[in-house]
Structure 1
């Protein structure tokens, strides 16, 4: 189940709430009982298990700066 981060505007504490994605837009109360909270923007880091990404072949990739235009 996804976890969402919130910050309480009244006391400044940050806290997490686990809830289904269907309830992601609902407000959350501070654990200390305050109702004035704001949902924080969370970032997710995604890594691969294969290590470094191999370089693309020369001339491949398309587009102007993909090796085909000489810039």
Structure 2
């Protein structure tokens, strides 16, 4: 099951619907009884513990050979 967020165009309320992913694009009625709704684009939040790397634990950057592109053109000759 997935959670999809909808907004009612008639009353402006936002509501969630739990349904299988196969029904993601099916219309959803507003809890107020309205049928003019639109599915909103939702973001995904993942849980976990954030960590900060110690400066000494970061790998050193490899030296660049140059010749990269800048502004859409090659400038390294």
Distance 2:40 2:47 in 1: 23
TM-score scaled to structure 2, two decimals? 0.67
What 5-or-longer segments of structure 1 have no aligned partner? 61-66
Runs of 4 or more consecutive aligned structure 1 residues displaced over 3 Å after TM superposition: 53-56
TM-score scaled to structure 1, two decimals? 0.72
- Over aligned residue pairs, what C-alpha RMSD do you find? 2.5
More strand by percentage: 2
Equivalent residue pairs, number: 65
The higher radius of gyration belongs to 2
CA shift at 1:56, angstroms? 4.5
